[in-house]
């Protein structure tokens, strides 16, 4: 059995780690709020984009955008992997990387090449270790993604898809279901499904109504929509109504809007992953703190037991010595 000094050192060490993990938990909790606020702030623009796309798509005679059409031959895909720059977040990174790696392997088994775009140092290290080429990478932005990052990715994939060098674009990231749980999500970015306009809008609306602060933002956005409707003759239900003339045509307007839609989807994935990262780190650090508290309690109990045993042994030796002296 370990001596008292070793146990005491172990208790001190675990207690120091507990203070670090508790501090990281508090920092992650504060960052969750900021990340959630960024999603709330970006959502009204996304909802407005969806409404406009729905309205224009209904009035377009034909959807001629190359981003809407599936290529006849499937030879190359782009895989966008969104993870974090830092660890200590439980299975946040491993879960996404495992699913993405499995998808890339399935493509290779069908003789389909894959270009990888990585957001986050952990993903870059993962693919470099496995000798998987990375076409584009971003570092030191996972906790604070910027629109310029989404714009650069969107420009790359739109250009590649338009000239026919890429036939599909898929993104993998962690969706922040709530402050504690994250769900690995796979979305096809290109080709754009025209039905995705409505689906994406409904998902964002559901997400924005899931939080109290988000409800306030949604109410403000609805009030703004109604105010604009009363001033411009737009239907106040939130959908673009009335008859409009599009120059040069509705199809041309739709084709101009779709790249912005692609950029918006990528940006929301980055924001969603950033919120999920802080939630995962908070959960992991809370578990580590709880384990440290339990370990300190167990070690203290062992320490007291060993100390009590040592005291009992000393008393026994003293009593035995005194008895031996009396016999003499």
| pLDDT computed for residue 197 by the predictor | 52
The answer to whether the CB of 60 falls within 8 A of the CB of 296 is no
| pLDDT computed for residue 181 by the predictor | 84
Crossing angle of helices 250-327 and 147-162, rounded to 10°: 130
Higher pLDDT pick, 104 / 256: 104
- For the segment 197-214, the average pLDDT, to the nearest whole number, is 45
> In 3-state terms, the chain is what percent helix, strand and coil (to 5)?
65, 10, 25
| pLDDT computed for residue 216 by the predictor | 38
12-64 pLDDT per residue, tens: 999 999 999 999 999 998 888 888 888 888 878 878 877 777 777 766 665 66
Written as six digits, the tokens of 190 are 């290109």
Written as six digits, the tokens of 183 are 């769900």
Is pLDDT of 311 > 80? yes
What Cα–Cα distance (Å) separates residue 229 from each residue in 33, 46, 204, 234? 32, 18, 22, 4
Report the alpha-carbon distance of residue 130 to residue 133 in Å, rounded.
Answer: 9
Low-confidence winner among 10-24, 25-39, 284-298, 311-325 (lowest mean pLDDT)? 311-325
| pLDDT computed for residue 208 by the predictor | 39
| pLDDT computed for residue 310 by the predictor | 80
Per-residue H/E/C for 53-74:
HHHHHHHCCCCCCHHHCCCCCC
Pick from 47, 49, 270: nearest CA to 176:
270
What Cα–Cα distance (Å) separates residue 97 from each residue in 174, 185, 283? 10, 12, 20
Q: Which of 41-45, 134-138, 210-214 has the highest mean pLDDT?
A: 134-138
Mean pLDDT, the chain, integer: 81
- For the segment 254-276, the average pLDDT, to the nearest whole number, is 89
Low-confidence winner among 132-141, 247-256, 305-314 (lowest mean pLDDT)? 247-256
Report the alpha-carbon distance of residue 178 to residue 183 in Å, rounded.
Answer: 10
168-205 pLDDT per residue, tens: 999 999 998 887 788 999 999 998 875 555 444 445 44
Is pLDDT of 280 > 50? yes
Predicted TM-score (pTM) of this structure: 0.76
| pLDDT computed for residue 223 by the predictor | 40
What Cα–Cα distance (Å) separates residue 206 from each residue in 34, 198, 209, 210, 231? 19, 12, 5, 6, 28
Q: Please, what are the domains in the chain?
A: 26-214+242-283 (3.40.1380.10)
Reported residue count of the chain is 328
């Amino acid at each position: 059995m370990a001596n008292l000094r070793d146990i005491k050192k172990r208790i001190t060490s675990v207690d120091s780690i507990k203070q670090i993990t508790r501090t990281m938990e508090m920092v992650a909790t504060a960052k969750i709020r900021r990340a959630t606020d960024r999603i709330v702030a970006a959502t009204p623009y996304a909802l407005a984009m969806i409404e406009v796309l729905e309205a224009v798509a209904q009035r377009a005679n034909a959807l001629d955008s190359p981003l809407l059409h599936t290529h006849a031959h499937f030879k190359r895909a782009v895989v966008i992997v969104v993870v974090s720059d830092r660890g200590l977040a439980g299975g946040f990174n491993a879960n996404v990387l495992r699913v993405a790696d499995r998808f890339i392997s399935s493509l290779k088994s069908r003789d389909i090449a894959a270009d990888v775009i990585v957001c986050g140092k952990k993903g870059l290290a993962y693919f470099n270790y496995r000798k998987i080429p990375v076409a584009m990478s971003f570092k030191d932005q996972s906790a604070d993604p910027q629109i310029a990052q989404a714009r650069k990715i969107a420009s790359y994939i739109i250009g590649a898809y338009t000239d026919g060098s890429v036939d599909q674009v898929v993104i993998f990231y962690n969706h922040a279901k709530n402050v504690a749980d994250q769900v690995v999500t796979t979305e096809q970015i290109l080709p754009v499904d025209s039905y995705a306009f409505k689906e994406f809008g409904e998902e964002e609306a559901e997400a924005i109504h899931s939080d109290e602060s988000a409800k306030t933002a949604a109410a403000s956005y609805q009030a703004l929509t109604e105010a604009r409707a009363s001033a411009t003759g737009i239907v106040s239900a939130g959908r673009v109504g009335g008859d409009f003339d599009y120059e040069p045509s509705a199809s041309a307007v739709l084709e101009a809007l779709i790249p912005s839609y692609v950029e918006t989807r990528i940006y929301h994935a980055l924001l969603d992953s950033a919120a999920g990262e802080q939630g995962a780190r908070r959960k992991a650090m809370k578990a580590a703190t709880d384990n440290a508290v339990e370990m300190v309690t167990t070690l203290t109990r062992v320490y007291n037991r060993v100390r009590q045993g040592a005291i009992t042994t000393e008393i026994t030796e003293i009593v035995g010595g005194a008895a031996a002296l009396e016999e003499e």
